Structure 1
Amino acid sequence: LVLIGQIEAEGSWRADTMHSFSSWLASRERLSKALAQRTVGAARALREHLPATAAAACAGEITAEHVSIMVKATGTETLREKLAGPVASDTAAGPVCTGEQMLLGNAGTCKVDEFGKLIKGFTVSGDPEAQEKAFKDAVEREFLQISPTLGGMQISGFVTTEHGQAFNAALRAVAGVPAADDLRPADLRKVDSLVDLAHLVLDGGIAGKGANVRPHLSVHITWDEFTGLYANAHTASTSSTVSVS
């Protein structure tokens, strides 16, 4: 990414008469347009907003995964300001560093997954309004479609990360630990768990209220049968009454 950013800034790629640097990169490296655009965007973020990260990457102090994670922290102007802004040391006599340098200080002391969680926490706390807007936008894009297709039903949709994690947790809870002789593939076990979850809701009568239709049983009898049952029930109730004088 550092090299790609340098090539774009240097400008020699324009000699190939490409209308954009991402098009030039896609043609030269045989990349899809989408991947080339993402790569160029990450390279620009590294060149323009993450000087310490670029230096650490060139020195071999951090991996490509660390770089990709740091790029995610440059999504908004507020986050970029916090990355470039000064951060005081925990000790009064300690040096003052930038937010970017403070975050990079953890790259060598924790695993990549833990570093990713750290950066995620930074983006959430650093610009909560943007995170809330992103969540609301994702919620508005949620959908679930179950459509008939040849020989079955096709399920497709999109949910937020939080809802997807809840969905997976519910399926794992229903599926449990597969037995040693359970040779079903993981995808098939997930389908069976989804069906079991549906039956658990419907058979248990715990469906939602409001516009949802709760499970119910309809019994069809004639009017004469109904009046006969009512009369028998009324007679039984009267005969069981004890008079106390």
Structure 2
Amino acid sequence: MSATARGIRRQRHDAAERPFIVIWESTRACPLTCRHCRAEAVPDRDPRELGTAAAKDLLGVRMAERTTRLARWVLALTGGGLLTAVAGPAAGWRPAVALGSTAQVTKLRQETPDAWVFNGIAAQYAKRPLKAAAGERVRFWVVAAGPSDGIAFHLVGTVFDTLYKEGAHLLKPDKAGGAQVLDLATAQGGFVETTFPEAGHYAFVDHDTRHADAGAHGMVEVSD
């Protein structure tokens, strides 16, 4: 952009070829049905959506090639719920987060959201259980995405023999002891491991019952 004598800025390049803001609607899948939503949200992901590898290729290579010639640019990743992630410029990927509508923010402040979820959809793993085999070692990666509440990840019917939290092992299989829960504050992450002793159905929950009752629960279906 260039400044004229009157202070009006005019573009020096074709924005279609070198945009300074790119908005990517990464998904239309969302557990909410907000009347104000301009995205016409649907409950399940479209099979044509980009997977993780294709998305990384787009962000890391193709989009960077089209935008790095600009001194500054902004990429907005949107779709799928309350938060919009904003990153820019291309070199450095400095992220920011923008909250959604006034109604959503009000519910957030009052701690009365429509649902608490695992991976974006309330109770999805109760309807479509995770699969495992008896005697198989299984790892659960957990991130307390928040934006306000942490999580107490608990698996009913077995004990965790491995617990990794915020970059450090707190429990390993070759050490004595066991863990019932992986407790994470907002924005923390980690994983737990266990071996299912026999076939059956093993429930997992966020042990804060407000969260579990509102959708943060699921099931692991274990076969012989």
TM-score category, normalised to shorter length: under 0.3
Larger radius of gyration: 1
Of the two structures, which has the highest relative contact order with CA contacts closer than 8 Å and spacing of 6 or more? 2
Higher helix share: 1
